[in-house]
Amino acid sequence: MTDQPHTPEDGEDTPTAWRRATNVAKKLALGALVIGAFALLARHSGGQPIATDGAPEPERSPEAEFAAIVRKVAAGRSDIKVVSINGFFAELGIRSRSGRSHGQAHVYYDVETGRLGAGDMYGGTARLRGFVRELEERLAEMWPVGV
């Protein structure tokens, strides 16, 4: 069938009606993609509201500060990936020296004593010790005598 110019008599099954329906569907799909992109950008940027002048910064809990420090230290190391953080306990994935596998490790911060405990499935790798050393330094800067 050849396309015909639009006329008021066009019904639902004419090429013009199909073209219009297709264009509407394309516009709706494009709108959904744009909304999804904005939602992803908002999620990726942390979704933090912009602080206005004179508004006090919201206080962060010690657990949130600990999580931020752990993530920041791990981001500086290509061989360590933060798996999860729950309170003052963090699970880590440590890439092996060959780079073919990952081992699991954990880090625990004792709030009362200000000490950091860590362990892994191999009994303390050099990569974990370096991570713990840097984490201890950052935590000491943040909380000199514990929280």
Which helix (H) or strand (E) segment is 26 a member of? helix 15-44
Whole-number Å distance between alpha carbons of 64 and 59: 10
Q: Residue 12: is it exposed, middle or buried by C-beta count within 10 angstroms (0-12/13-18/19+)?
A: exposed
Name the one residue in this structure whose structure tokens are 């890439």: 95
Query: How far is Cα 97 from Cα 101, in angstroms, rounded to an integer?
Result: 9
Rounded Cα gap, residues 132 and 110, in angstroms: 14
What is the distance between the alpha carbons of residues 137 and 68, in angstroms, rounded to a whole number? 14
Q: Give residue 22's pLDDT.
A: 73
DSSP lists the bridge partners of residue 85 as 90
- Residue 65 to residue 71: CA distance in whole angstroms: 10
Q: What is the mean pLDDT of each run of 10 residues along the chain (147 residues)?
A: 54 68 71 67 56 62 89 87 88 81 86 84 76 88 65
Contact 22, 107 (CB under 8 A): no
The C-alpha atoms of residue 95 and residue 83 are separated, in whole angstroms, by: 12
| Cβ(58)–Cβ(47) below 8 Å | no
Give me the chain's average pLDDT, please: 75
The pLDDT, as a whole number, for residue 72 is 92
SS3 category, 124: coil
